[in-house]
Structure 1
Amino acid sequence: MLGRRWGTAFAAFGILAVLFTTAEPGAATVRSIDPPNGQFTIDVHSVHGNGCPPGTAKVVRAGDRTAFTVTYSNYTAQNGGGIAISQRRAACTIAVDVGVPHGFTFGITRTTFRGFADLAEGATGRLDTQYWFVGMDVTGKIRRDFTGELQDNWQATDEVPLPEVMWMPCRPGGVPLNIESSLTVNAGRINPGTTSLMTMDATDSEVTTIYNIAWREC
């Protein structure tokens, strides 16, 4: 009897082992591929916000199809010294129409934001960003805080592990991508009369933000 019980137990264990062995690769099948051949287009559908007045934001895809960039030329938040309340926060929302080769989709794996900060002692600045495909949950939420005294270029980079990447839904014609960002400056109490500012355009480069992407088949 004991031998039969052990035999049954080992048999059950063997079945479970097979199941787990079979299921494990399936649970981690998220793999990226080389950028596919075919047409990959990114066109700005709409832009609005005081951080990106008409004609000041540009979206360009990389030639190797591994990234696209957004460049701003008039994205500034400032506070202190009698600055109007409306200028203390700058924001921008860009809706992008994306066209991808048939049978493929992409997701954002890394984001890099760059700019310049001139914050007086006690002043603070904050970067908030997020992006999402229309009809899906907001993802790519990033927040970075900066504290004065600071007068230098700044950079904020966020990595997304491949299993956590939000992939564009596989639908004919693709799905629009929304990109939202904001800069907020607080003058603080130490030097409230001194103007502090943050920009989303670095002084040493024309490229402001970079979105690195990965590809996979639908």
Structure 2
Amino acid sequence: MQLTSLLALLPLAAAAPSEPISARGLTVPTDAVPSEVRVLGISLLGSGCPANTADVQIDATKTLLEVTFSEYIIQTGPDTKAADWRKNCKLTLNLEFDEGFSFSTLATDMSGFAQIPAGSKGLCTNTFDFTGIQGQSYYSIALPGEREGPFTLSADPDVVSWSPCGGTSAIMNMNTQCNISPTKEAALIAVDRISGKITVNVALAWRQC
């Protein structure tokens, strides 16, 4: 199938009302969480997130973070180039919360649309780390062919990294990368046709310092 046919499958409808983050399959303990969590600032860098194409929300329980990308599209096949085969977005998030807490990422799920033929494979990774702290949490999501349609896939980390104690804010760096191989076959990982977004839901775990 030609690339133009793949893209024709993606009429970007107006975003439908989204269900609460807490209803999307990620659950975390809520017995010790700060009373307030606030996003102080967001910065974006990467081929998958031009300015003003990503959004961050925290649900009412303060344990689920939703990051959405509206122009994150990976394409392979005829008439594509190297810049199309792999996309990434580094999102730096400054969170403010009650003193005496630290948090970590516990699990992620990723939702979007994919059309990948047999013999091809998509791969998306999400890594998280905290400014001033060594180590990172790493999540890997595979999209082997043959598949066509929306997907939601979950991943757990091999290593968990916690934000530093002793303050009321922390800077979390999230790096999302997706690619498809081999690159000669027409394939696509892109925003979902209904929501017009690729979504990464992140379960947050809190502990008292």
Normalised by the shorter chain, which TM-score bucket?
Answer: 0.7 to 0.9
1:204 Cα offset (Å):
4.5
**Between Structure 1 and Structure 2, how many residues are aligned?**
180
1:160 Cα offset (Å):
5.2
Q: Deviations over 1:89-108 (max 9, x none)?
A: 01000000011111222222
1:67 Cα offset (Å):
1.1
Q: Distance in 2 between matches of 1:54 and 1:92?
A: 11
Q: Distance in 2 between matches of 1:211 and 1:106?
A: 12
SS in 2 for 1:111: strand
Alignment partner for residue 185 of structure 1, among 180, 185, 209?
A: 180
Alignment partner for residue 136 of structure 1, among 133, 137, 156?
A: 133
- C-alpha RMSD of matched pairs (Å): 2.2
For structure 2, which runs of at least 5 residues remain unmatched after alignment?
1-28
Q: Distance in 1 between matches of 2:141 and 2:65?
A: 22
Equivalent residues of 1:41, 1:99 under 8 A apart: yes
TM-score, with structure 1 as normaliser: 0.74
Pairing 1:62-211 to 2, within 5 Å after superposition: 62-159=59-156, 165-187=160-182, 192=184, 194-199=185-190, 201-205=191-195, 208-211=199-202
Question: Letter of the aligned partner of 1:45 in structure 2?
Answer: I
Name 2:19's counterpart in structure 1. none
TM-score, with structure 2 as normaliser: 0.77
1:146 Cα offset (Å):
2.1
Equivalent residues of 2:115, 2:187 under 8 A apart: yes
SS in 2 for 1:125: strand
Q: Distance in 2 between matches of 1:32 and 1:71?
A: 24
Equivalent residues of 2:133, 2:163 under 8 A apart: no
Q: Alpha carbons of 1:165 and 1:85: their partners in 2 closer, same or farther (altered >3 Å)?
A: closer
Give the number of the structure whose residues are more often helix, by fraction.
Answer: 1
Question: Letter of the aligned partner of 1:203 in structure 2?
Answer: R
Question: Letter of the aligned partner of 2:32 in structure 1?
Answer: D
Question: Letter of the aligned partner of 1:123 in structure 2?
Answer: S
Question: Letter of the aligned partner of 1:175 in structure 2?
Answer: A
Equivalent residues of 2:113, 2:193 under 8 A apart: yes
SS in 2 for 1:102: coil
1:85 Cα offset (Å):
1.2
Name 1:12's counterpart in structure 2. none
Structure with greater Cα Rg: 1
1:110 Cα offset (Å):
1.7
Moved more, 146-155 or 93-102: 146-155
Q: Distance in 2 between matches of 1:216 and 1:144?
A: 27
Matched, 1:213 2:204: yes
Q: Percent identity?
A: 24
Q: Alpha carbons of 1:48 and 1:82: their partners in 2 closer, same or farther (altered >3 Å)?
A: same
